[in-house]
A and B are shown apart, each in its own frame.
Chain A
Amino acid sequence: MTKKAKLLTGISIGAAITVIAMLALPRAGDASTTKKKVVEIRMKGSDTMIQLATAWAEAYRKVNKNVFVNANGGGSGTGFAALQNNSTDICNASREIKKEEVEKVKSVTGKEAKEFTVAHDALAVYSNPANPIKEMSVEELREIWAEGGTIETWDQINPAMKGKITLFGRQNNSGTYEYFREHICGKKDGKQREFRGGISEMNGSSEVVENVARTPTGLGYSGMGYKTPKVNWLKVSNKKGEAGVEPGADVARSGKYPISRKLYLYTAGDPSPEVKAFIDWILSPAGQKIVDQEGFVSLKK
């Protein structure tokens, strides 16, 4: 064989292989996608729910291998915005959807936002274990946290404790911030009261708890799931003089604990079959077990 002939055979063999590969590969690809079509479900929203959503996503992967759940945080407001832009399938929300958000979803996507209650949550008020004050009424909390409130030092509540109250809250775009403002700051002249100035605004729920643990005069609010041995839960009563209720599962479900709320999932219109199956699984005992594991309160059985 001459050099040229060798080269020619080489080229022709190479070409044949390429042609065969080009013909065969798309078919192989088709076959694999039809066999197990991996569907992605996008979840976005509440930072309070991010740990819960991630736990659901991981557990659901074992239940249905063809579904991949992508859970993201950003805040409830961010989640609703994503629902309008169709950049998420499910919006996790730690508050009810606002009227204008319902309208926005409707005007942009043409669908009604659908609500699913998936869990209960109670916001706990955390204090330092060194603090002898273990109980507080909602009214007292209001005077501490709301703008124009009258309580600034601990001895205004109980002379056993001295010093200025050091407040730790969440940053102003968090669902926890909005929820605590709505429940605790209350209304004045028909208008929602805002938080006072001088609150350290933390970027995470556990950061609040850590700071209260380090600060003897500290007081902070955060989800119930973030309790550590280094902090105390305050018992909260609706009115001064009434017995305070310690945060817990039953009192959160029954609404006896003053600062409890529901956690929601929202979809734009009726969910797709895959999303529907996922939400049904969340509402099933298996999904609700994870709610308890993550420190939230499962729905009534």
Chain B
Amino acid sequence: MSQSATVESKKKLGPAGTIERPVTWVGRMSGRVTNARGKIRLLDRFEKPIEWLIRICGWSSIIGVCAIFFFIFREAAPMVPKLDWVHFFTSPRWIPNPAPGNEASFGALALLAGTFSTTFIALILCVPIGLGAAVYISEFAKGKVRETLKIVIELLAAIPSIVWGFIGLMVLGPIIQQIFSAAPGSWWGHTMVMLRLASSETGAAQGTNLFTGGAILALMSVPVVVSLSEDALRAVPDSYREAALALGANTWETVRRVLFPAARNGLLAACMLGMGRAIGETMAVLLATGHNNRIPTALTDPVRTMTATIAAEMGETVHGDSHYQVLFILGIVLFVITCSINVISDIIVKGIKKGNKA
């Protein structure tokens, strides 16, 4: 039915082409096509449905986001008026399964601190590495080296997060524990406590901690930062480079004085998106951070993130119970954080596009 309707509308618009074309099987079957000149091609017949299909594909992501937000909010809604929000944001006391007779305490401060501290460490590690790699790929590397590097860095993005977590737990963790360990009373122990590298003179208590988690997250965010900041650097017109060269600048001076300021917004957006990746990561941090509900005071303190808490506790909660709803509220908080990061980076990216046109 719809097909014939599209044929009708096409006819009204006029014949598809003036050049004679062989009669298609659809045309023959439908028996509508009598005239080779006025006949409608197979693709033309499907044009409208295909257009609609593509339109639906385009809108589906928006529908998806709205549906996700609606679902999370619906599950969390009964708890929104009941939850002590001040306590939620200011207390580190997270006791969702209290002993009989005790009241549950939903203080998410330590979880927030865990999420932000691991993301912060990840950013400190991944921004210099990512920007350096992007500058090298876009300005210094030539030919095959550049292509190989690009492929390998994209490959890094394809490693599943559980594998990263496993690497953190089994490989990086023991190494970090070795490095940050000391005999009590030794100079290294004192130095670590003084520099806030460890909270105890004996060093890192366990291999899975803030630093391990942050390092793993940094490795996971590097591909995002590299490929986006490389794009931003490439977007700088060559005339800028030529002008810099003409003024007698070497490559490094060109990068520092000309390209960085010109691509500033794009680089910033790349870092923001890398941060978004780090904040939302779950499996890797669940394995690599130690899952310890405390506000970290030193680099090698174990922590616990919001994502890991949701992953570890969601499976065991009763549907509709307040613990279940609070986990969804944690989800909303995460959603708001990542959304605002994406929106901010989007605004910044739009900024560079305008800048380039001008």
Contact = CB atoms under 8 A, between A and B. Distances in A.
Interface of A: 74-75, 77-78, 81, 98, 162-164, 166, 171-173, 177-178, 181-182, 185, 191-195, 197-203, 211, 214-218
Contacts of A173: 97, 313, 316-317
A198 B202 contact: no
20 contacts: A78-B316, A163-B200, A163-B201, A173-B97, A173-B313, A173-B316, A178-B99, A191-B101, A192-B100, A194-B102, A200-B208, A200-B302, A201-B304, A211-B206, A214-B174, A214-B206, A214-B207, A215-B205, A217-B202, A218-B206
B184 interface: yes
A71 B355 CA distance: 64
Contacts of A200: 206, 208, 290-292, 302
Given A77-B316, A200-B292, 18 more contacts: A162-B202, A164-B199, A166-B206, A171-B291, A172-B97, A181-B99, A192-B98, A192-B100, A195-B95, A197-B92, A197-B94, A200-B302, A201-B304, A214-B174, A216-B181, A217-B200, A217-B202, A218-B206
Contacts of A199: 292-293
Contacts of B313: 171-173
The interface centre, meaning the residue of B97, B100, B294 with most chain A CB atoms within 10 A of its CB, is: B97
A182 B99 contact: yes
Contacts of A201: 291-293, 304, 312
B1 interface: no
B205 A192 contact: no
B207 to A, nearest CB: 7
Interface centre among A78, A98, A177 (most CB of B within 10 A): A78
B177 interface: yes
Contacts, number: 93
A166 B293 contact: no
Contacts of A194: 95, 98-99, 102
Given A77-B316, A81-B318, A198 B294 contact: yes
Nearest to B311: A203
Given A162-B185, A172-B97, A200-B302, A192 B290 contact: no
Interface string B304-319: 1000000011011110
Contacts of A191: 99, 101-102
B222 interface: no
A98 B95 CA distance: 19
B291 A163 contact: no
B200 to A, nearest CB: 4
A258 B316 CA distance: 29
Contacts of B181: 216
Given A199-B292, A201-B291, A98 B100 contact: yes
**What are the nearest 8 A-B pairs in CB distance?**
A192-B99, A162-B184, A163-B202, A166-B205, A173-B316, A198-B294, A164-B200, A200-B292
B234 interface: no
Contact of A172 (B95, B100, B206, B208): B95
Contact of A197 (B101, B110, B177, B202): B110
A201 B304 CA distance: 9
A263 B102 CA distance: 25
Contacts of B96: 172
Contacts of B174: 214
Contacts of A178: 97, 99
B93 interface: yes
B202 A164 contact: yes
Contacts of A216: 181, 202
A215 B206 contact: yes
Contacts of A197: 92-94, 110, 293-294
A181 B95 CA distance: 12
Interface in B157-189: 174, 177, 181, 184-185
A216 B312 CA distance: 27
Contact of A203 (B100, B202, B312): B312
A165 B185 CA distance: 16
A286 to B, nearest CB: 33
Contacts of B207: 214
Contacts of B100: 98, 192
A198 B206 contact: no
A162 B98 CA distance: 32
A214 B93 CA distance: 28
Interface string B101-114: 11000000010000
A194 B205 CA distance: 23
Nearest to B205: A166
Given A162-B184, A163-B184, A214-B207, A198 B293 contact: yes
B297 to A, nearest CB: 10
A214 B177 contact: yes
Nearest to B200: A164
Interface in B288-338: 290-294, 302, 304, 312-313, 315-318
B103 to A, nearest CB: 10
A254 B291 CA distance: 36
Given A200-B291, A201-B293, A171 B99 contact: no
Given A191-B102, A215-B205, A218-B205, A74 B200 contact: no
